[in-house]
Structure 1
Amino acid sequence: MATYITLMGKCFVVYFVIIFALRLMGKREVGELSVFDIVIYLVMSELLALSITETDKSILRSMVPIFTLSLLQIVLSWCLLKSKKTREIFEGKPVIIIHNGHINQAVMKKERYNIDDLMMQIRNRDICSPDEVAFAVLETNGQLSILKKEQCKVRHPEPLISDGIINQSVLDDLHQDVAWLLAALHKEGVERSEDVFLCMLQKNGLFVIKKETRTRNAFFSHHA
Structure 2
Amino acid sequence: MPLWLEVSLRTLSAIVVMFIYTRILGKRQISQLSLFEYITGISLGNLTGYISLDTDRNWGLGFVALSVWVMISVGIEFLQLKSKRARNILDGKPAILIQNGKILEDHMKKERVTSDELLEMLRMKDVFNISTVEFAIMDTSGELNVLLKKENQPLTASDLNLAVTPEKASMSIIMDGKILEDSLKKVGLNMHWLQAKLDKIGTSADKIYLAQVDSQNKLYLDPYDDSIPTH
TM range (shorter): 0.5 to 0.7
Q: CA deviation at 1:35?
A: 0.7
1:71-110 correspondence runs (5 A): 71-110=71-110
CA shift in 2, pair 1:36/1:57, >3 Å: same
1:43-77 per-residue CA deviation (whole Å, 9 max, x = no partner) reads 12112211222113332211111111111111111
1:88-133 per-residue CA deviation (whole Å, 9 max, x = no partner) reads 0010000110112110011001111000011112122222211211
Which residue number corresponds to residue 127 of structure 2?
127
Structure-1 separation of matches of 2:27 and 2:87: 18
Gaps of 5+ in 1: 153-224
Q: CA deviation at 1:30?
A: 3.9
1:4-83 correspondence runs (5 A): 4-28=4-28, 30-83=30-83
Identity of aligned residues (%): 30
Instruction: Calculate the TM-score normalised by the size of structure 2.
Output: 0.62
Contact 2:51 2:63 (C-alpha < 8 Å) held by counterparts: no
Q: CA deviation at 1:31?
A: 4.5
Structure-2 separation of matches of 1:30 and 1:146: 24
Q: CA deviation at 1:29?
A: 5.8
Structure-2 separation of matches of 1:114 and 1:22: 35
Gaps of 5+ in 2: 155-231
1:128-176 per-residue CA deviation (whole Å, 9 max, x = no partner) reads 2112112111111111111222349xxxxxxxxxxxxxxxxxxxxxxxx
CA shift in 2, pair 1:118/1:30, >3 Å: farther
Structure-1 separation of matches of 2:46 and 2:30: 18
Structure-1 separation of matches of 2:15 and 2:86: 32
**Bigger Rg, which one:** 2
CA shift in 2, pair 1:78/1:72, >3 Å: same
1:117 aligns with 2:117: yes
Structure-2 separation of matches of 1:29 and 1:45: 13
Structure-1 separation of matches of 2:108 and 2:127: 19
The runs of at least 4 consecutive aligned structure 1 residues that moved more than 4 Å come to none
In structure 1, what residue type is equivalent to 2:149? K
Instruction: Calculate the TM-score normalised by the size of structure 1.
Output: 0.64
1:173-209 per-residue CA deviation (whole Å, 9 max, x = no partner) reads xxxxxxxxxxxxxxxxxxxxxxxxxxxxxxxxxxxxx
Which residue number corresponds to residue 171 of structure 1?
none
Quote the RMSD (CA, aligned, Å).
Answer: 1.7
Structure-2 separation of matches of 1:82 and 1:147: 30
CA shift in 2, pair 1:113/1:30, >3 Å: farther
